[in-house]
Structure formats: structure tokens, C-alpha cells
């Protein structure tokens, strides 16, 4: 089964790299958002950070990393619908590898792509004078990977029963985008209305955002400003639940 899953993951990566517009969509769009919105808002809003007050460009950065992971997860799961429509998926379904191999292949592929892109932006962004030490880098990779697995699984869960990409995009706008809005990516929970704050507290993505925000604000040698264990447990539990839901869904044959 591993051979099949690896092969499916590799296919995701090769397909991604061959479709230049996907690379642009998943990487350039969030970076452009960040740059325009961050620079535009600039100092009009001074937001609280873990180490003093931040201009919006800095505040918005962890949210953009989250958006890159989100976009990559969406784009790599929308291909399930295309695969189904074009007939490719049927060929995979009749292979002895089994359906869970498809799930793990997709999640592995989506996660690798998402983590790689997030890392590129985190480390190469000329703006960030962020040089993480090994400890921070480890947590960044671990947290981004968990988020990517969870979001790819969520995309998979929605895409699997669908037969049109239009329907999928409609659901994304209704579901994924608010999930991102309410994660702290755009505004801090502190100044929000009570009901928004409550929603944010129940949004698992908020904990991912919090972890990224804390990690990205940590320079070499500094202690972490937050206790990551709560963030990890919530993200781990949610991710596990989503993967299990996917496994249940693919195992059902019509």
C-alpha cells in the first residue's frame, strides 16, 4: 500500500509543478494579498503581538502562511473531482492498493506541497528578518504539517462525494474562507465583538494561527512566548478526526 500511496503523492507533486498557474495561484496570490493588504493598512491599524505592538504587515504574515496551506490543500483536493470526472479515479479504484491508499497518497501529496510552499515563503520572504533556530524550525514544520494534513483531509472530505468543481468552489467560499477569517489571520480576537470571539475560540484553525504567530515572533535563542501544548493537542485531535472521517468515507462503496 505504501508504494501506491507514495506513487499517488509523487503524481500530485509532478502535476502541480507542470501546471504553472497552480503554482502561481497557491503561492503568488497569498503573497500578493499579504503585500497589498499589509502595506495598504500599514500603520492605520496597530495590532497587539506577542512582543509589543505590530504594524499590519507583520501581523498579517502568519495568517498568510495559513492561507498558503489552505489554498494548497484546496487545490490538491479539487483534483479528486477532476480525476473522477475524467475517469482517472476509476482506474485507481479498481487497483488492488485499496481506497485508503488513495486517501493517504492525496494527503501526503497535498501536505508535502503545502509545507514546502509555506517554508519557502517563511524563510525567503525578504521582509522577515526571521532566522529561526532548529527548535523553532522544527515546531514550524511540525505545526504546518499538522495543519496541512488536517486541511487536506477537510478538502478531501468535501471533494470526495462531489462531481462538479463549481460546487466545490461554492462550498469553499462558504466554509473555508470564513474559517480562515475567524482564525485570527486578519484581525486579533482581542478587539472583536463577543460573538466573533466565541466563534474564534471554537475554530481549531485559531490555535494553528496562534502557534504560527508565536513561532514566527521568536528570534534565535528567545524562549517561546506561548505554551504550544494546547495548540498541538487541539490541532492533532482535529486532524485525526478529519482523517478518520475521510477513511470512513472512502471505505464506503456505493
Partner 1 sequence: MADASLWAVEAEGVGYSYGRKRVLENISLRVEEGGMFCILGPNGSGKTTLFKILSTIFALQEGEVSVAGRSLRQFPTPVRKKIGVLFQNPAVDMKLTVRENLRFHGNLYGLDTHDLEKRINKSLEALGVDDRGGELVENLSGGLRRRVEIAKVLLTRPSILLLDEPTTGLDPAIRAELWSIISGIRNTRKLSVLFTTHLLEEAEPADEILLLDQGRSVASGKVADLRSSLGKEYVRLGSYQPKKLAARIRKEGEIEVTAEPASVKVVPIRGLAAPLAIKLWRQYNKEVTSVTLCRPTLEDLFLQKTGRHWSSSPGEF
Alpha-carbon gap, residue 119 to 137, rounded angstroms:
9
Q: Binding string, 12-41, against partner 1, x = CB under 8 A?
A: --xx--xx----------------------
Q: Does 73 bind partner 1 (CB under 8 A)?
A: no
Choose one: 83-91, 114-122, 139-147, 159-167; the region binding partner 1 (CB under 8 A): 83-91
Q: Does 249 bind partner 1 (CB under 8 A)?
A: no
If the CB atoms of residues 44 and 254 are measured against partner 1, the closer one turns out to be: 254
Contacts of 82 (CB under 8 A, 6+ apart): 88, 165
Q: What are the grid coordinates assigned to 249, written together?
A: 468515507
Which region holds residue 221: left if phi is over 0, alpha if psi is between -120 and 50, else beta?
A: left
If the CB atoms of residues 86 and 133 are measured against partner 1, the closer one turns out to be: 86
If the CB atoms of residues 84 and 209 are measured against partner 1, the closer one turns out to be: 84
Tell me how far, at minimum, the Cβ of 227 lies from partner 1, in Å. Answer: 43
Alpha-carbon gap, residue 220 to 232, rounded angstroms:
22
Q: Does 44 bind partner 1 (CB under 8 A)?
A: no
Choose one: 5-13, 124-132, 169-177, 184-192; the region binding partner 1 (CB under 8 A): 5-13
SS3 of the chain: helix, strand, coil, percent, to 5: 80, 0, 20
Alpha-carbon gap, residue 176 to 161, rounded angstroms:
17
Cα dihedral value 219, 220, 226, 232, nearest 10: 110
Tell me how far, at minimum, the Cβ of 21 lies from partner 1, in Å. Answer: 12
Q: What is the 3-state secondary structure (H, E, C) of 121-154?
A: HHHHCCCCCCCCCHHHHHHHHHHHHHHHHHHHHH
Q: Binding string, 98-137, against partner 1, x = CB under 8 A?
A: x--x------------------------------------
DSSP bridge partners of 48? 53
Q: Does 95 bind partner 1 (CB under 8 A)?
A: yes
Q: Does 163 bind partner 1 (CB under 8 A)?
A: no
If the CB atoms of residues 6 and 181 are measured against partner 1, the closer one turns out to be: 6
Identified binder of partner 1 from the candidate list 24, 51, 86, 241, rule CB under 8 A: 86
If the CB atoms of residues 97 and 200 are measured against partner 1, the closer one turns out to be: 97
Q: Are 223 and 247 in contact (CB under 8 A)?
A: no
- Name the residues that contact partner 1, by CB under 8 A: 3-4, 6-8, 11, 14-15, 18-19, 86-98, 101, 253-254
Amino acid at each position: 500500500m505504501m508504494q501506491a500511496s507514495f506513487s499517488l503523492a509523487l503524481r500530485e507533486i509532478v502535476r502541480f509543478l507542470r501546471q504553472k498557474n497552480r503554482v502561481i495561484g497557491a503561492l503568488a496570490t497569498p503573497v500578493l494579498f499579504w503585500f497589498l493588504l499589509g502595506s495598504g493598512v500599514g500603520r492605520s491599524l496597530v495590532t497587539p503581538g506577542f512582543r509589543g505592538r505590530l504594524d499590519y504587515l507583520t501581523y498579517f504574515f502568519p495568517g498568510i502562511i495559513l492561507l498558503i496551506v489552505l489554498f494548497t490543500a484546496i487545490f490538491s483536493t479539487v483534483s479528486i473531482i477532476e480525476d473522477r470526472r475524467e475517469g482517472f479515479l476509476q482506474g485507481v479504484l479498481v487497483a488492488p492498493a485499496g481506497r485508503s491508499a488513495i486517501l493517504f497518497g492525496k494527503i501526503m501529496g497535498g501536505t508535502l506541497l503545502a509545507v514546502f510552499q509555506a517554508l519557502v515563503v517563511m524563510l525567503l520572504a525578504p521582509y522577515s528578518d526571521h532566522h529561526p533556530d532548529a527548535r523553532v524550525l522544527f515546531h514550524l514544520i511540525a505545526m504546518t504539517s499538522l495543519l496541512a494534513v488536517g486541511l487536506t483531509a477537510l478538502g478531501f472530505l468535501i471533494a470526495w462525494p462531489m462531481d462538479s468543481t463549481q460546487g466545490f468552489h461554492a462550498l469553499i467560499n462558504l466554509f473555508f474562507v470564513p474559517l480562515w477569517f475567524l482564525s485570527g489571520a486578519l484581525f486579533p480576537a482581542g478587539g472583536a465583538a463577543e460573538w466573533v470571539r466565541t466563534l474564534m475560540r471554537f475554530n481549531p484553525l485559531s490555535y494553528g494561527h496562534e502557534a504560527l504567530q508565536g513561532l514566527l515572533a521568536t528570534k534565535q535563542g528567545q524562549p517561546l512566548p506561548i505554551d504550544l501544548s494546547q495548540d498541538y493537542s487541539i490541532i492533532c485531535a482535529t486532524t485525526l478526526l478529519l482523517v478518520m472521517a475521510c477513511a470512513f468515507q472512502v471505505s464506503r462503496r456505493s
